[in-house]
Structure 1
Amino acid sequence: MSPHPIASPGRARLGVSLNFLTNGLMLNLLPRLPEVKEGFGLGDGAYGLMMAASGVGAIAAFAFPARLIGRFGALRVALVGTLAGAGLLVVAGFAPHPAVFAAALLGMGFADACADAAQNTQGVAVEEWTGRTIINSLHATWSVGAATAGIIGSAAAGMGIGIGVQTVCMAVIVGTLAIVCYRLGTIPDHVRHQQAAVRARRDEQAPTTWRRLLPVLPLAVIALCGVIPEDTANNWSAVYLVQEFGVGYSLAGLAVVVMLVSQIQGRLAGDPLTDRFGAERVAAAGGVLVALGSLTMALAPAPAAVYAGLVLNGLGCASLIPGAYAAAGRLPGLAAGTGITLVGFALRIGLALGSPVVGGIAEVASLRASFAVVAAAGLIAAVLSAHRSLPGRRADAG
């Protein structure tokens, strides 16, 4: 199998966009998590630990994505990672025990870390080829896929379709789309050589040895803070609505969709806003919105207020992760995929720690109180972003 021989910026953008869409579709299990939690008879603490397995698997990947991308190319790594994740999704759907479910999540986290780093590396390369800011739009297609997955999962729950049947159907769809993405997304060799020459010129001006990694640190923290509201909404918003307000499974599952739809809007607006105001200002404003949304959820007197808080969270976190990835992909002195892999590693630390922290606070105090962690993450992201930690494409090009 090889990528399609006819390449163009439009085809490459379509291919990588579909890759992000496919990655989002992998979240179709999220609306069924309240059923999984109750089916296994888990408390908040045990549930939080089980859900952390995905983040642990991603952390275990660590340096593998950069090495694999360097050896096999971003397209191949994205394809294999997606196919592996789809297979493990089916295992999770039929898991007879929490340990099996956690093991499947562990493998999915590892595969997703590789696929995510690969698709972002490819996205930055395509962005440079097109000469336009597109990274937020690419992540918007991820949100579209995730929102679609949420609708499918909620509808399946409402119709009484088994979780296993749902995951099999989605795995087939994801696998098919992954192959299409691979064939569309190729970038010609001469374009890659030009991009490599530009990176080489930047590398000549970069600090030596370990100091090249220092600019990654603020970007990594911003990405970590950006994933906390997203992960909390994914793993806990439906549970929160069921436990605190008695909302039914199907309606509660739509909480994830509400957050993702608002995230889509924020990401579609993110590219033109970034070109006009700068990535750092857009991200700083997003961090403030995350803090406001989280406080709204914590103080919510009714389900409607929870959904309103999720809208603010979605708008707020929309540009945090894309901006951090894009800036990391252009850092001088680092091999292709290295900066993005390190930012992704920090992001997945957030995925690994987020659910246990939320679950622990819920056990000691309440699930409402745990949203203070999300509000704090938003404020940290706002402060770091305001200090110009997110150089955009235009600044880089100048």
Structure 2
Amino acid sequence: MPRQSAAPVELDRRPSNTAWRNSIFGIFFLCGFAFATWVARLPAVRVQLDLSTADVGILLFALAIGSIGGLAFAPGILARLGIRRGIMLGLLFLGAALALLGAVTEMLGSTVGAMTILVVYGFVFSATDVMMNVDGAAVERSLGKTLLPLMHAFFSFGTIIGAVLGAGAARLGIDVMWNFAIVGVLIMALGLYFVRNVSGLEPPRPHDADRAAAPESWWRRLIGTFRDGRLMLIGLMVAGLAFAEGTANDWLTIASVDDHGFSEASGALVFGAFVAAMTAGRIFGGPLIDRIGHKRVLVFMGLLGLGGIVLFILAPAPWAVFTGALLWGLGGSLGFPVGMSVAAAHPTDGPRRVGIVAVFGYSSMLIGPPVLGFLGEHYGVLNAFILVAGILLMTLLITPKATAAPGASPKPQRVD
């Protein structure tokens, strides 16, 4: 294929594979930092805009709509701009949208304005995420090492920093506007620094770009996924685990505050415990998978996550809330990055497969929170978490078949 034959030439133009890898680590970190800043201050945004639980669900639905749009258009953006320019523009727009969101929330108190900005925020976030995962999979192939779990750990590092700083800002009474503005500027400045050493792959030739950007081509590829049983199983597994991760990202703080009686700052720390556990799982999960196999590790982690969700729902004391959040984060830590890595482990079709699995994962992650919002309005957020536990249980039934598919190894060196 023309695109594949050009890849080795582009690899030689990079300063070094180490600099390339480190740049992707940094970009994952920035995206996690931006996302956690928004999540940690969501209770304050809710108060500022005077929103009910269902209204928060609608607000998150705007984010989901934009994000799904970003997933759909990411292949066309990648084809027209290339990895480096695509990620650079994504990070610039991401930082600007975050700063603008704070200003609209604090100064105007406009729910419609906040929803509009969240559509843009979600679009650039998900499009950038697909592109950095595609380039991360290319780093794996170039270095011959399983690195996507560690790259997602850097995303989690960013969420930890964002959650801790968000909790600190809430405790100090710093306005959402200033919190979002400072972080937005940092995202833009550091983004320009990190993007220098990403792959720099050139856009395909015009006729290829036209085909990649055409809606018919995208839908044909998506429909073709249903004929690929192995990819479907991987996608469903990732979707189930992403649903558990996404609902925790957006609702753990609010559930801790509203249902468990925590302060806003303490609720942010519960979210910090969740992402700390997720980070630990992604750091140590790779070596563990190499020792006992990805099927056993993913099933064991999934059981821990299921237990964590149940404990969080039934928590009789604050320690149980934190323990449940820790187990929840640990249990969902490896499904997404390992699924992306497995999908990428293909000699000729890795980028497309990564994009398809990303559609499964991020669509589930982004649709889940609004659904939980509507359920939470009528039954309470903790009761709505029962749905998350049920979906995770079904995912555990899928996982052995998805990971036992012939040749489904997350190690890129086996397909090079």
Say whether the fold is shared (TM-score over 0.5).
yes
The aligned runs of 1:181-260 (5 Å cut-off) are 181-186=194-199, 213-260=228-275
Report the CA distance shift for 1:86/1:4 in structure 2 as closer, same or farther (over 3 A).
farther
Alpha-carbon shift at residue 113 of structure 1 (Å)? 1.4
Alpha-carbon shift at residue 332 of structure 1 (Å)? 5.8
User: What is the CA–CA distance in structure 1 between the aligned matches of 2:195 and 2:12, rounded to whole Å?
Assistant: 8
User: What is the CA–CA distance in structure 2 between the aligned matches of 1:388 and 1:396, rounded to whole Å?
Assistant: 18
Q: Which moved more, 1:118-127 or 1:174-183?
A: 174-183
Partner of 1:22: 30
Residue 100 of structure 1, aligned match among 94, 105, 113: 113
User: What is the CA–CA distance in structure 1 between the aligned matches of 2:193 and 2:395, rounded to whole Å?
Assistant: 36
1:393 aligns with 2:406: no
Partner of 2:293: 278
Alpha-carbon shift at residue 367 of structure 1 (Å)? 1.7
User: What is the CA–CA distance in structure 1 between the aligned matches of 2:332 and 2:371, rounded to whole Å?
Assistant: 19
Partner of 2:344: 329
What is the TM-score normalised by the length of structure 2?
A: 0.85
Alpha-carbon shift at residue 387 of structure 1 (Å)? 1.3
Report the CA distance shift for 1:395/1:214 in structure 2 as closer, same or farther (over 3 A).
farther
Q: What per-residue deviation string (whole Å, max 9, x for no partner) do you get for residues 307-342 of structure 1?
A: 1111011111111110111122234663x5322222
1:369 aligns with 2:387: no
User: What is the CA–CA distance in structure 1 between the aligned matches of 2:12 and 2:99, rounded to whole Å?
Assistant: 29
User: What is the CA–CA distance in structure 2 between the aligned matches of 1:270 and 1:187, rounded to whole Å?
Assistant: 30
Residue identity in the other structure for 1:105: L
User: What is the CA–CA distance in structure 1 between the aligned matches of 2:145 and 2:44, rounded to whole Å?
Assistant: 43
User: What is the CA–CA distance in structure 2 between the aligned matches of 1:83 and 1:241, rounded to whole Å?
Assistant: 33
What is the TM-score normalised by the length of structure 1?
A: 0.88
Q: What per-residue deviation string (whole Å, max 9, x for no partner) do you get for residues 150-187 of structure 1?
A: 11111111111111111111111111221122112337
Residue 52 of structure 2, aligned match among 38, 43, 49: 43
Partner of 1:205: none
CA contact 2:87–2:128 (8 Å) conserved in 1: yes
1:91 aligns with 2:100: yes
Residue 142 of structure 1, aligned match among 142, 155, 158: 155
Alpha-carbon shift at residue 225 of structure 1 (Å)? 1.5
Residue 74 of structure 2, aligned match among 65, 87, 103: 65
Report the CA distance shift for 1:214/1:67 in structure 2 as closer, same or farther (over 3 A).
farther
Report the CA distance shift for 1:239/1:12 in structure 2 as closer, same or farther (over 3 A).
same
User: What is the CA–CA distance in structure 2 between the aligned matches of 1:79 and 1:216, rounded to whole Å?
Assistant: 30
1:298 aligns with 2:313: yes
Q: Which structure 2 segments of 5+ residues have no match?
A: 1-10, 203-223
* Percentage identity across paired residues of the two chains: 24
Q: Which moved more, 1:179-188 or 1:249-258?
A: 179-188
Alpha-carbon shift at residue 395 of structure 1 (Å)? 7.9
1:175 aligns with 2:188: yes
Residue identity in the other structure for 1:379: L
Alpha-carbon shift at residue 5 of structure 1 (Å)? 6.1
1:261 aligns with 2:276: yes
Partner of 2:374: 360
User: What is the CA–CA distance in structure 2 between the aligned matches of 1:284 and 1:395, rounded to whole Å?
Assistant: 24
Report the CA distance shift for 1:357/1:188 in structure 2 as closer, same or farther (over 3 A).
closer
CA contact 1:7–1:186 (8 Å) conserved in 2: no
SS in structure 2 opposite 1:42?
A: coil
Report the CA distance shift for 1:61/1:187 in structure 2 as closer, same or farther (over 3 A).
closer
CA contact 2:64–2:366 (8 Å) conserved in 1: yes
Q: Which structure 1 segments of 5+ residues have no match?
A: 190-208
The total of aligned residue pairs comes to 378
Partner of 2:324: 309
> Aligned-pair RMSD on alpha carbons?
2.4
Q: Which moved more, 1:363-372 or 1:154-163?
A: 363-372
User: What is the CA–CA distance in structure 2 between the aligned matches of 1:218 and 1:178, rounded to whole Å?
Assistant: 34
SS in structure 1 opposite 2:343?
A: helix
Partner of 1:81: 90
Partner of 2:397: 383
SS in structure 2 opposite 1:245?
A: coil
User: What is the CA–CA distance in structure 1 between the aligned matches of 2:200 and 2:374, rounded to whole Å?
Assistant: 46
Alpha-carbon shift at residue 394 of structure 1 (Å)? 5.6
Q: Which moved more, 1:225-234 or 1:145-154?
A: 225-234
CA contact 2:19–2:197 (8 Å) conserved in 1: yes
Q: Which moved more, 1:293-302 or 1:4-13?
A: 4-13
SS in structure 2 opposite 1:52?
A: helix
